[in-house]
Amino acid sequence: MTAQETAAYVIAQAPVPPNDPGGQGEDFGKSSPVGLVLLILFAIAVVFLIRSMTKHLRKLPVSFDEEKAAAAAPAKVKRAEAAKAKAEAEAASEGEARSEAEPSEAKQGKDETP
């Protein structure tokens, strides 16, 4: 069978009789209770996702520029950063003091051992 014969055969077929519902039986278009439950669950999930996204978006800074962010930062954040810097400076000064004290302690430890 050639392509022309196939096309002629498809075109020459009789149309579907008008009493045929076209695959639409008596239950066509009806939904079961399971469909309703799924629809409600999806709606609840969307509500929770929107709430979560809103919370995360509120945490974002107004601007990602460092200068603008520093100017817009609340005083609490600035105090926390200052306290962190002070603690790091104290830890560094203690580390220097320990490194200076270790040689003298090491000499004392050697003198005390028999």
Query: Would you state the pLDDT for residue 51?
Result: 97
Helices (DSSP H) in the chain: which residue ranges? 3-11, 33-59, 66-72, 75-112
Express each pLDDT in 9-34 by its tens digit.
888 877 766 676 666 777 777 778 89
- Tell me which residue has tokens 């629809």: 39
Query: Would you state the pLDDT for residue 28?
Result: 73
Query: Would you state the pLDDT for residue 3?
Result: 86
Mean pLDDT of 84-109: 70
Out of 28-32, 45-49, 106-110, least confident range: 106-110
